[in-house]
Every structure is written in C-alpha cells, then in structure tokens.
Amino acid sequence: MTILNAFLDKTIIFSFDKSGFIRHKKYFQEDLMQKNITGKVALVTGGTSGIGEEAAHTLSQLGAKVFVTGRNESKGKLFEENNSHSKFVSLDMAKWSELNKFCEQCENLDYIVLNAGSMPDQIVLNEFGVESQCASQLLGHYFLILKLKELGKLNPQARIVWVSSGGMYLKSLDLDALFRNVNYDKVATYANVKRAQVTLVEELAHEKEWDEYKIFCMHPGWVGTAGLLDALPVFSKLMKNKLRNTYQGADTILWLLLTNENADTIESGGFYFDRKKVSPYLSTRYIPSMEIRKSLLTEINKYRLKF
C-alpha cells in the first residue's frame, strides 16, 4: 500500500467513508460473487434491512439457504418474497425467553452473522432488567451462539461474524455503564456495547470450547442506512454522498464467511476492516486490562444462568 493510502487511512474520514472502500478494493484478491455455496446454511440476525439484508441477500444469491431474524414482520415477509432459499423468523434478540425455542428449531448452520442492533432514544429494559442494546447486541448474540453450540447446531468449522462499529474506537470498555446503565445516552451506550463485543470475541478465541469454529469481529465503515439516518441524522446529512452503500458495508462480512485465500490463516478473535486484520485500539489506553476482561466474562456468566 502506498504512502498516500497509509496517510489517508490515518485520517479515518477517508478510510471509513466510500472513498476508503474504493481505494482498499484495489487490493482485494477474490471475487466473492463467483462463489458457489449451494448446500450451506446461514443465519443473519437483523437481516431485513441495511447491511444485514445485503449480506443475507448475497448469501442467498450464491446458493445458501438463509434464515434472517428481525422484529418487523412486514419487512421479513418482503425479504422472503424477494430472496430464494430464504426464511424469516420473528425474533427480538433482547427477549432471551425466545432464544431457546429458536435455537431448538434452527437447522445446523455453516455461517452466522450477528448483526441485529438499534439505538433507542430512551432506555429500554428487557425482562431481566438489562438495557436493550446490551441485552440484544452483546448478551443476546452470545447466548444465541452458545445455545446453538450446546445443541450441536454449529457445523464443523462454522464461521461466526460479529458486526461491530468504528464508533467504538473512541470508547474504553465501561462495565458499570454496560450492566448498570444509570445515565443512558444512546450513542455512548452503542459505542460501549460495540467495544464489549470486540473484547468478548477476543476472549472467546482463547477458550477451548470454541476451537472448532472461526469467530471474528469487524466494522463496516460508515454506511448510509435508514438506521444510521434515524440514529444520527446530523452525521448522516453532513456526510451525504460520502457514506458507503450497503454492499460496500457488507463486503468484509461476506469475505470472512467465504474466503479461501486465507482459510488457514485468518485469525479467530481478530478484528477486520475492508478484508484486512486491523487493531481495534487507537492507543494502548483503550485496551481492557485482564481484570476488566475477567469481570466482563463474570458478569456475562451471571446472566447466562438466567438464560
């Protein structure tokens, strides 16, 4: 990569935006649209709109049987109508009581995209009193893959991609705000939950029970979705035509699921952006200590008992 490219990446703006993807794409080695994954089974949470819908649509195009989950029945049915080999399942990731039933009825999976997410303006608590962003995007997704594994529903070498956000780069992991969210702010909460996802994926990669699978975290850059416009209208309007489209945002998700070029070397637990392993930390001060990492796992396991 040239000195100019390296400089532009350091600016963040010209890396996370559409121009960053166009520059990075010049170095991509694989044409994902040439893949044939007939016979594979995929699950995409939050797959009825935005990046999740794009990933699910492409997987369906390439021949996979795709299950998408979401809370909007009308969007789900529309997705089914427009995509062959697909099925919509109504599921709220924050409602843990629904997860067991879903997992028991789910088919064996080769690919999982943990994408569901939203930013409520006001704090919303789930049935166990957990703030909804944490309950769905962090705990709900973890409990989902854990239950699927326990039920033998993950095929050997299944690949699991957690969709994080570049918004977590300026956030240190705050466990008190994560699990005892007294002063709720939707953007700060979102960034904290996304930071927690990165940390959890790093820790899962060290656990022997996940050795049989590949687990990754990634961020898609700045993507122009209806969800972004609703959550951050000022930022969306300011960036206007600089935002990536949903296919550009979904590209690294699909690459992590389908790539053969680094099948033995892509690193479980790694953090990826535009088909490249990158650091999720701008500086060492954002790296969670071992004590914080252990506390995160301890807190998660407390809720695991309720699930």
User: Against a cut of 0.85, is the pTM above it?
Assistant: yes
The pLDDT assigned to 238 comes to: 78
Helix (H, G, I), strand (E, B) or coil at 56: helix
The pLDDT assigned to 263 comes to: 60
The pLDDT assigned to 276 comes to: 95
- E strand or H helix that includes residue 81: helix 73-82
Asked if 91 and 115 touch (Cβ cutoff 8 Å), the reply is no
Per-residue DSSP letter, 240: G
The pLDDT assigned to 288 comes to: 97
The pLDDT assigned to 260 comes to: 87
- Measured CA to CA, the distance from residue 86 to residue 112 in angstroms comes to 14
Confidence band for 15, pLDDT divided at 50, 70 and 90: very high
Q: Of 59-73, 77-91, 255-269, give the lowest mean pLDDT range.
A: 255-269
Which token pair is 240? 């206007």
Give the contacts of 179 (CB within 8 A, at least 6 positions apart).
130, 134, 299
Asked if 46 and 223 touch (Cβ cutoff 8 Å), the reply is no
Q: Of 21-30, 33-42, 221-230, 264-273, give the lowest mean pLDDT range.
A: 221-230
Counting Cα atoms < 13 Å in the Cβ hemisphere of 181 gives 23
**Mean pLDDT taken over the chain:** 92
- Measured CA to CA, the distance from residue 252 to residue 221 in angstroms comes to 10
Report whether pLDDT(229) > 90: no
Confidence band for 26, pLDDT divided at 50, 70 and 90: very high
Report whether pLDDT(7) > 80: no
Confidence band for 223, pLDDT divided at 50, 70 and 90: very high
Q: Which CATH architecture has domain 31-306?
A: 3-Layer(aba) Sandwich (3.40)
CA distances, 143 to each of 14, 93, 96 (Å):
36, 9, 8
Edge-to-edge strands of the sheet including 86-90? 86-90, 65-70, 41-45, 109-114, 154-163, 214-218, 271-273, 276-277
Report whether pLDDT(196) > 90: yes
The pLDDT assigned to 70 comes to: 95
- Residue 85 gets the label, from left (phi > 0), alpha (psi -120 to 50) or beta, of left
Most confident of 3-7, 78-82, 127-131: 127-131
The pLDDT assigned to 1 comes to: 56
* Cross-strand pairs, 277: 272
**Strand runs labelled E in the chain:** 41-45, 65-70, 86-90, 109-114, 154-163, 214-218, 271-273, 276-277
Asked if 193 and 167 touch (Cβ cutoff 8 Å), the reply is no
Confidence band for 264, pLDDT divided at 50, 70 and 90: low
Q: Give per-residue pLDDT as tens, 104-163.
A: 999 999 999 999 988 999 999 999 999 999 999 999 999 999 999 999 999 999 999 999
**Which of these, 271, 221, 214, lies nearest to 251 by C-alpha position?**
221
Instruction: Locate the domains of the chain by residue range.
Output: 31-306
The pLDDT assigned to 13 comes to: 77
Per-residue DSSP letter, 33: G
The pLDDT assigned to 286 comes to: 96
Report whether pLDDT(222) > 60: yes
Report whether pLDDT(213) > 90: yes
Q: Give per-residue pLDDT as tens, 36-56.
A: 999 999 999 999 999 999 999
Residue 245 — φ and ψ, nearest 5°? -85, 175
* Helices within 83-210 (DSSP H only): 96-105, 132-133, 141-150, 175-179, 186-204
- Measured CA to CA, the distance from residue 161 to residue 44 in angstroms comes to 10
